[in-house]
Amino acid sequence: MPKRKRSRSARRLSTPAAVAKYLSKAFKRGPNSVPLAIVTAARSTNMVHLARKADVFRSNLYRLLEGERGDLKLRTALRLLNALGMKVEVKLKRKK
């Protein structure tokens, strides 16, 4: 299998802090930005290690990242975020 090139965004995500900042911005932009951001963050790491840690098949992970599997399910997104060393918190929205 040929080695996939990482996108420019994925190359910039070389530290956990950079990944966290990138994902936080995606969550602030809105729900349509989140799946692409998770995919980009996933591409910035070792896929075999990520698949094992997220408890997903590597082949399914590649299909997901290539857009062949459709929408990113919440369960898979949370597993990938956890494998990337991230956590999701829910906070009460402030009244304006």
User: Is 1 among the domain residues?
Assistant: no
Q: What are phi and psi of 16, to 5 degrees?
A: -60, -35
User: Is 88 among the domain residues?
Assistant: no
User: Is 63 among the domain residues?
Assistant: yes
Tally the C-alpha atoms within 13 A of residue 30's C-alpha that lie toward its C-beta.
1
- Structural domain count, the chain: 1
pLDDT of residue 70: 62
d(CA 32, CA 22) in angstroms, rounded, equals 14
Indicate the pTM of the whole model.
Answer: 0.77
User: Is 2 among the domain residues?
Assistant: no
Residue 93 has pLDDT above 90, yes or no: no
pLDDT of residue 1: 45
User: Is 59 among the domain residues?
Assistant: yes
User: Is 3 among the domain residues?
Assistant: no
User: In terms of residue numbers, what domain contains 20?
Assistant: 8-83
pLDDT mean across residues, the chain: 83
pLDDT digits (tens, 9 = 90+) for 19-43: 999 999 999 998 888 888 988 898 8
User: Is 74 among the domain residues?
Assistant: yes
